[in-house]
Amino acid sequence: MYKCQISSNRKPTVSRSNRLAFTLVELLVVISIIGILIALTIPATTAARDRARQARCTSNIKQTNLATMEYITRYGYFPGWKNQFQSVKTSSQKVNGSWVAALLPFFNEGALEKKWVEGIQDTACLLYLICPADARPDKIDPHLSYVANCGNTTGTSRDAGVFLDLEIKNNKRPTKQTLDFITSNDGLSSTIMTSENNQAYMWGPDANISWQGFVFFSANPNTMGTSQALNWDYRGVKMSSQTGRNAITADAYARPSSFHPGGVNTSWCDSRVVKLNDDIDYEIYKMMLAPNDRGCGVSQASLSILHEMLNVQ
């Protein structure tokens, strides 16, 4: 007898109890792992973004430092925080401009330079003058994130400053700062050239220390009053109006400040870029600005501390 073999293409039925599925515990574990991964990724991403901003800011400051050195090579002295430009069209026409306007030829801004030489105070948004971490809501054109070392609050003393007032007044030749003077005194490695500033205004024709420079006071601003504008704070304070500053409080904004965590990027006269810590002593800060420490009236003890910090013999 032949055995009857019956074949079927029908797949065996799988009961519901044999289906694969996540249990509640497994689902919670997966969610927890995803949360941990996100928590680990976000700080790393933020840190990477901060490092990128720091690198870009450092590059900007180096570019400004290089332009300043090229200016010195051509003219023999530093540009001023305020400069006077003689129009090539009219001998009697003179216009004032900031240190940025003086450096336009060395930033390869030929078109802008030509207008200033012709007596036209024209400005533009120059991206290398804006720190990528600077995200002020009141950002204006032409925006500025970097400021020049003006020394004391008058910005005229050669012993105490680097970028001085070069406006010709009463037909008197203004005092000009040179690399030789700095070298023969405190030295290029002991003197700051430029810095970041949260409240810098714009680089245009209205040259003003409190808009485009940073200074030091004879005493620590913390002892000068209770106003927030007079507090020594690298991080700075947000202002309600850039143009509403009066002459008394304006200079209090003329100091290093930054949106970078932990400190402020500065360039020095020997072309280094150094990040200053937030907790720097104010007397040390004054000596870092002064090419000749006698110009800022610091104590011998503070002078010794600075020399030890900078390994100056």
Give the number of other CB atoms < 10 A from CB of residue 104: 24
Please report which confidence band the pLDDT of residue 295 belongs to, taking 50, 70 and 90 as the band edges. confident
CB 203 within 8 A of CB 144: yes
Least confident of 1-10, 92-101, 111-120: 1-10
Residue 185 identity (one-letter amino acid): N
How far apart are alpha carbons 222 and 204 in whole angstroms?
A: 31
CB 273 within 8 A of CB 57: no
The token pair that represents 71 in the structure block: 């200016």
How far apart are alpha carbons 203 and 116 in whole angstroms?
A: 13
How far apart are alpha carbons 252 and 232 in whole angstroms?
A: 8
Q: What is the pLDDT of residue 234?
A: 41
Q: What is the pTM of this model?
A: 0.76
Which is more confident, 86 or 121?
Answer: 121
Percent over 90 (pLDDT), the chain: 30
* Phi, psi (deg, nearest 5) at residue 7: -110, 155
* 186: Cβ contacts below 8 Å, ≥ 6 apart: 287, 290, 291, 292, 293
Least confident of 20-34, 47-61, 184-198, 245-259: 245-259
How far apart are alpha carbons 145 and 202 in whole angstroms?
A: 9
Spell out the domain ranges in the chain: 47-310
The token pair that represents 170 in the structure block: 């009463």
The token pair that represents 127 in the structure block: 């991206």
* 265: Cβ contacts below 8 Å, ≥ 6 apart: 54, 57, 58, 61, 131, 195, 196, 258, 273, 274, 275
**pLDDT digit string, tens, across residues 71-105:** 999 999 999 999 988 766 666 667 888 999 999 99
Q: What is the pLDDT of residue 77?
A: 96
Percent over 70 (pLDDT), the chain: 72
CA distances from 253 to 50, 229, 248 (A): 24, 7, 10
Q: What is the pLDDT of residue 179?
A: 96
**pLDDT digit string, tens, across residues 211-229:** 899 988 876 665 544 333 3
How far apart are alpha carbons 72 and 209 in whole angstroms?
A: 21
**pLDDT digit string, tens, across residues 171-202:** 888 999 999 999 999 899 999 999 998 878 88
User: What ranges in the chain are assigned the alpha helix state H?
Assistant: 24-75, 99-103, 110-117, 179-184, 209-212, 247-250, 282-289, 300-310
CB 254 within 8 A of CB 154: no
Q: What burial class does residue 116 get, using C-beta atoms within 10 Å of its C-beta: 0-12 exposed, 13-18 middle, 19+ buried?
A: buried
Q: Which of 194, 164, 159 is nearest to 270 (CA)?
A: 194
Per-chain mean pLDDT for the chain: 78
Q: What is the pLDDT of residue 123?
A: 86
How far apart are alpha carbons 108 and 71 in whole angstroms?
A: 12
